[in-house]
Amino acid sequence: MIFINAIFITIPTVLLQISNQYICYLAFSKKISDVQRKNLWRGLFFCALCVGIFYWSIFFGFGITPIIFKLVLVFGWLPFFVVSIKIIPLSKLQHFFISGMVLIWNLFVHNITATLDVIFFENELPSFIFTCHAIIYLIFFVILLPVERKFFINLLPQENFFENQPYGKYIVLLPFMISSGILIMWIDDKLFHSWQERFSRLYLPFVFLIFHRYFFAANRQIIEKQKNLRYNRHLKEQISALEQYNLLMRKNQEQMIILRHDMRHNYRLIFSMLQEKKIAEVLDFIKVQENLLDSTTIKFYCHSPLINAALSIYLQLAEKAEIKVKQKINLPEKLFIDENDLAILISNLLENAINASKLQPKNRREISITIEHIENQCALEIVNFFDGEIIFENNLPTTSKEDHGIGMLSLKNFAEKYSAQVDFSHEDGKAKIMIYWENIFEKK
């Protein structure tokens, strides 16, 4: 009989542990790629099989007693926790914090479930009570799933959230410290605890809500602050780029003055060599002068000085990095959008494409930028090779690295301001972003 009872209690207990991991997954779901998501569930499934066999052997070998069942619940999450840390590439502090918050939530649900155990199964055998306890917990998990999704899906702080707080590492331990006092009293050989003990644990949801609101609000403030700092820093970089463009203009003007000054002398040399019928020398001399003229040329892409400056600076940076550039720029002479917004967007996206191309082999360093307009419709397309993995959030690339993601931030701001449509794809080693907007006077 113990053989069958061990099986009946093992299955819902393992499912209970998996339900807890699903709640943890909700917190990480926006930060992992599709590949990581598949690997996570494969790892958790394999872990569940191994843990299930271990649970069954424990129940079969030592009996189904209150202390054994409680120890399984208290420590059974650890193997799943190790799998999550190995597969989800986030800081251990984030993993510990989410696990602690899930623990507080679990204790609250277990407390409700234990209350129902007393009401309906007080006179039953321990094996039957524990099996029913796990099943009732799973029922509550399904019923409360909308609430769990609401609370946990936006709970994960930024990767450097705890490191930036004066007592961040201690804050991570608070959920575990609050729960540990309850767990120490709970791990005993009692089948049921007193009503006073159960009622005393009803404060847990309030603790959870306070922690949830604090971290949600603090995390949002830090994100906004970091975005503003990075955006302001990048605006300074744009100003610096325009200053470089201005210096380049002055330098070219000085070179042109020198070339004009030498032009009469060069004509005399050519005339003299032609009289002496030195045709080859004349052609070589003309080629040299043509190269000098090319070196003074600032390429003209469009009528907007700001957009022209952005394209000149970043396409020149691409060429210096030995990145092949294909460009086709056809912007209307009159733009009804803020030219500064488009210049910043182009600069950010080209900077992202250049950084991505630098990671590629030299034969795959290539960027293509196309800006076209047909009547009132404008389109911007940038294509570059990239073999790495891209994590998407709301159909746009994202990153957890500090000082990254400015391009996507400026793109999001541009799209919201001008109701632009954005399409991003990453196929066959090519990353392509396309943006469509209307060049009309009325704008948001």
pLDDT 10s digits, 207-259:
767 766 776 676 667 667 766 776 676 667 666 666 666 666 666 666 666 66
Angle at 247 between CA 246 and CA 252, to 5 degrees: 100
Instruction: Decide: helix, strand or coil at residue 98.
Output: helix
Long-range contacts of 68-71 (CB under 8 A, 24+ apart): 69/9, 69/13, 69/126, 69/130, 70/186, 70/187, 70/188, 71/187
**DSSP string covering 127-141:** HHHHHHHHHHHHHHH
pTM for this structure?
0.53
> Is a pLDDT exceeding 60 seen at residue 399?
no
The Cα 424–Cα 407 span in angstroms is 13
User: Which range has the top average pLDDT, 239-253, 280-294, 425-439?
Assistant: 425-439
Phi, psi of 405 (to 5 degrees): 90, 10
Query: What pLDDT, in 10s, does the model give residues 46-62?
Result: 999 999 999 999 988 88
> Is a pLDDT exceeding 70 seen at residue 413?
yes
Please report which confidence band the pLDDT of residue 443 belongs to, taking 50, 70 and 90 as the band edges: very low
Please report which confidence band the pLDDT of residue 12 belongs to, taking 50, 70 and 90 as the band edges: very high
Instruction: Decide: helix, strand or coil at residue 381.
Output: strand
Structure confidence at residue 241 (pLDDT):
63
> Is a pLDDT exceeding 90 seen at residue 369?
yes
Residue 194: half-sphere exposure toward Cβ, Cα within 13 Å: 4
> Is a pLDDT exceeding 50 seen at residue 404?
no
Instruction: Decide: helix, strand or coil at residue 160.
Output: coil
**DSSP string covering 263-288:** HHHHHHHHHHHHHTT-HHHHHHHHHH
Structure confidence at residue 444 (pLDDT):
42
40: nearest Cα among 100, 81, 2:
81
368: nearest Cα among 408, 312, 309, 328:
328
Q: What percent of the chain has pLDDT over 90?
A: 20
Structure tokens at 342: 């488009």
